[in-house]
Structure 1
Amino acid sequence: MDRLIASAQFGQQDVARQLGLNVTDLTCLGFLTEASLAGDPLVAGDLAERARLTTGAVTGVLNRLEKAGYIRREPDPHDRRRVYVVLDARAQTRLLEVYGPFYERLTALFGTYGPAELHVLTDFFVRARVLFTEESERVRTEERTDGQG
């Protein structure tokens, strides 16, 4: 499992470099892509929470992503204080250029499993994500507790 995680991290570093970004910017771009595909645009505060960044750090991320042409900011027509972060259509095309071959290979790999096996794999990934999230929160809580003592 550790090797899988390390491979994924190295892959993200390589993809970020290929896209002219750093890993944090790529992570945020991933959250924005996910929100865009769900039809649920994010505001900067939402992104900060998901990426576990301060609002100041997210402002820097958004400035870099905007300058690179991956996103744009759009004011909320009903509340001028809110600004939505919108994925630029060209960004999605660029991301697919880089990730597309990997997704094709991953789809082919999943195609080698039967329905029952896919059910187990899906269950594992869903439950493992919950476990990772819980453990991450536990570690952060211990860090805060240790830092106060």
Structure 2
Amino acid sequence: MEGKPRPEATPEQAQYAMDRMIALAQFGQQDIAARLGLNVTDLTCLGFVIEAAIAGTPLAAGDLAERAQLTTGAVTGVLNRLEKAGFAHREADPADRRRVRVVMADSAQERILAVYGPFYARLAGLFADYTPDEIAVLADWFTRAKALMEVSLEEIREP
């Protein structure tokens, strides 16, 4: 499969386009969270719960706190809200009864896909315009850019 012709762009133009997409995504997350009856922090944490469920790996409340860069007390509030909204529940870790696992509710994925599904369908259509090699470049770029962002955020967070 041969790729479609692409317009030329400078790194500066690509960075500007990325910045605009990130800004839109940040506002969009607020809208998506509101549609689901959550706040953005809760939605972000729900994403980590979904990731763990898809991977088939248990997610402890402490692990969620670490991933979300929240205190354990703040995660308690997040979990209370996710449970109240019917997206997740807590259960005791069978290997260590002192630990609490966060488990996605059975109906959560369907409710989330009702909101995200149309966007994901549009993205699938967009990806269909790219060759496998081009998609590999995109995936590589996003992965590497995420790693650079993590390093930069660590620097910013240092006192």
The bucket for the TM-score relative to the shorter chain is over 0.9
In the alignment, structure 2 segments of 5+ residues that lack a partner are 1-17
CA distance in structure 2 between the aligned counterparts of 1:95 and 1:89, rounded to whole angstroms: 11
* Percent of pairs with identical residues: 66
In 1, Cα distance between equivalents of 2:118 and 2:106: 19
TM-score (norm 2): 0.87
More helix by share: 1
Out of 79, 90, 98, the position equivalent to 1:62 is 79
Q: Which residue number corresponds to residue 19 of structure 2?
A: 2
CA distance in 1, matches of 2:137, 2:32: 29
How far does residue 78 in structure 1 lie from its aligned partner after superposition? 2.5
Q: Which residue of 2 aligns with 1:147?
A: none
Q: CA deviation at 1:122?
A: 1.1
Moved over 2 A (4+): none
Q: Does 1:15 align with 2:15?
A: no
The residue number in structure 2 matching 1:72 is 89
> Considering only aligned residues, what root-mean-square deviation do their CA atoms show, in Å?
0.8
TM-score by length of 1: 0.93
Task: Provide the secondary structure at the position in 2 that maps to 1:113.
Answer: coil
Q: Which amino acid aligns with 2:20?
A: R
Structure number with the bigger relative contact order (C-alpha 8 A, sep ≥ 6) is 2
Report the count of equivalent residues.
142
* Secondary structure of the corresponding residue to residue 107 of structure 2: helix
Cα deviation 1:75-122 (Å, max 9, x = unaligned): 112321011100001111100111011111001101100122112111
Aligned to 1:53: 70
Helix, strand or coil for the counterpart of 1:89? coil
Alignment of 1:37-48 (within 5 A): 37-48=54-65
Superposed counterparts of 1:1-149, under 5 Å: 1-141=18-158, 144=159
